[in-house]
Homo-oligomer: A and B are copies of this chain.
Amino acid sequence: MSLAYPPLSSRLDGLQSSAIRDLLKLTARGDIISLAGGLPDPRLMPLDRIAAATEAALSERARLQYTESAGWGPLLEVLAGRESARLGRPVPVEEVFVTHGSQQALSLLAEVLLDPGALVVVEDPAYVGALQVFRAAGARIVAVPLDAEGMRVDVLSDLLARGERPALVHTVSNFHNPRGVTMSAQRRAGLAELAARHNFWVIEDDPYGELWFDRPVPDPVATYSRNVIRLSSASKILAPALRAGWMVAPAAVCRGVELLKQGADLCGSALTQQITADLLADTEWLAAHVNTVRSSYGERAKALVTELRTRFGDRIVSTDAAGGMFVWADFTDGTDTAALLPRAVEHGVAFVPGAAFAVSTDYRHSMRLCFTTDEPETLAEAVDRLHRAIG
């Protein structure tokens, strides 16, 4: 038996494990308060409602069989209804496609929309799962910064004026991961207008839009142009184990994604998609459930932000955390967050340094803090430990 194996693809050379995933492993120790994760709170997941939906789903054997690549019919129907309401136009089932979480939508769309070498515009700091996909697709990546109103559409406009021709612009429009901000209505209209004028696709990646704390988010970018492909997911409002993401896209895009999904994994699970359909269709229950999540997360976010400001004063500038799962904080005193992290872990607290999300800017004085899985008092203790780590 030989110990040397045949070679692996050179595609692997440029790939690295996600820094966030490796950190998650590092900070799984029980004595560390980890604000480094990006996980929803399992205590807020609707266990009993999922159990009831599962029992109902298992009343028919068809839920155990292979299903269509585009998704389980009843879920497609429910999603078409939901998205029609969200987008203010009738969305036909042919424009809806169910994916294995919205990460799969990103990876299949990268293949459907991009030729190697195509230009992709991302936000800086970026959602690393999108960055990973676009890099693997061989795209050329240019970053546009974010500010308090979301993507700097004026910077994108300048890029276009200089002759750059993106195939695709990716945005996390609501409660950005990691930057926390939400794109203003004016910028949404502006981005859609540029997409129409310069004939590029926009992926509006929206896993967090329903997790607003004080007021709902503006209308989706997708309401302004059919060039916008909208992604959403059940992971943050119901449970990640349902692995239910979806997209709303022109039928031709959905058919391209369908061809690729057949090769990627044939189809999703009729069982978990039936459960998801059941929960999403139960609108009264769902509204109450999402309200509970909003109010818990909102309380935690406010506790974290208040504590940061109390402890650090003007040494830190942080987002307001109006929704979603993350606070982004910039040190104004020159603290290098990558250098801080090992000391912080020694003091029993973890976060993700800004560098992990950096594209063009280094974000070495920034960090992402996730507030979803800890109670206010634990979050206060985490900030206290962080303060002591800095000394």
- Tallying the copies of this chain within the complex gives 2
Complex partner residue of A43 from B61, B136, B199, CB under 8 angstroms: B61
Residues of B with C-beta under 8 A to A103: 263-266
Q: Does A316 contact B (CB under 8 A)?
A: no
Residues of B with C-beta under 8 A to A17: 258-259, 262
Q: Which of A248-256, A294-302, A342-350, A354-362 contacts B (4 or more CB under 8 A)?
A: A248-256
Residues of B with C-beta under 8 A to A239: 64-65, 271
Q: Are B43 and A51 in contact (CB under 8 A)?
A: no
Kindly supply a per-residue 1/0 record for chain A positions 206-246, scoring 1 wherever the CB is within 8 Å of any chain B CB and 0 otherwise: 00000000000000000001110000000100011111000
CB distance from A130 to the nearest CB of B (A): 9
Q: Are B21 and A45 in contact (CB under 8 A)?
A: no
Q: Which of A110-118, A180-188, A321-329 contacts B (4 or more CB under 8 A)?
A: A110-118
Q: Are B196 and A256 in contact (CB under 8 A)?
A: no
Q: Does A90 contact B (CB under 8 A)?
A: no
Residues of B with C-beta under 8 A to A78: none
Residues of A within 8 A of B (CB): 1-2, 4-12, 15-18, 21, 39-40, 42-43, 45, 47, 50-51, 54-55, 58, 61-67, 69, 99-101, 103-104, 107, 111-115, 129, 132-133, 136, 167, 195-196, 199-201, 225-227, 235, 239-243, 250, 252-253, 256, 258-260, 262-272
CB distance from A255 to the nearest CB of B (A): 8
Q: Which residue in chain B gives the minimum CB-CB distance to A48? A: B58
CB distance from A208 to the nearest CB of B (A): 15
Q: Are A129 and B42 in contact (CB under 8 A)?
A: no
Q: Are A50 and B58 in contact (CB under 8 A)?
A: yes
Q: Which residue in chain B gives the minimum CB-CB distance to A63? A: B241
Residues of B with C-beta under 8 A to A269: 241-243, 269, 272
In the bound complex, CA of A21 to CA of B69 (Å) = 10
| CB-defined A-B contacts under 8 Å, sample of 25 | A1-B226, A4-B199, A5-B201, A5-B226, A8-B252, A9-B112, A9-B115, A12-B112, A15-B260, A21-B69, A39-B66, A43-B61, A65-B240, A65-B241, A66-B235, A100-B100, A101-B266, A103-B265, A107-B264, A107-B265, A133-B263, A136-B260, A241-B269, A269-B272, A271-B272
Residues of B with C-beta under 8 A to A112: 8-9, 11-12
Also in contact, A42 and B54, with CB within 8 A (given A11-B115, A18-B262): no
CB distance from A88 to the nearest CB of B (A): 13
In the bound complex, CA of A251 to CA of B45 (Å) = 34
Q: Are A61 and B39 in contact (CB under 8 A)?
A: no
In the bound complex, CA of A267 to CA of B39 (Å) = 13
Residues of B with C-beta under 8 A to A270: 241
Q: Are A39 and B65 in contact (CB under 8 A)?
A: yes
Residues of B with C-beta under 8 A to A104: 264-265
Residues of B with C-beta under 8 A to A225: 1-2
Residues of B with C-beta under 8 A to A18: 262
Residues of B with C-beta under 8 A to A266: 101, 103, 129
CB distance from A85 to the nearest CB of B (A): 19
Residues of B with C-beta under 8 A to A115: 9-11
In the bound complex, CA of A1 to CA of B250 (Å) = 13
Also in contact, A259 and B16, with CB within 8 A (given A39-B65, A265-B103): yes
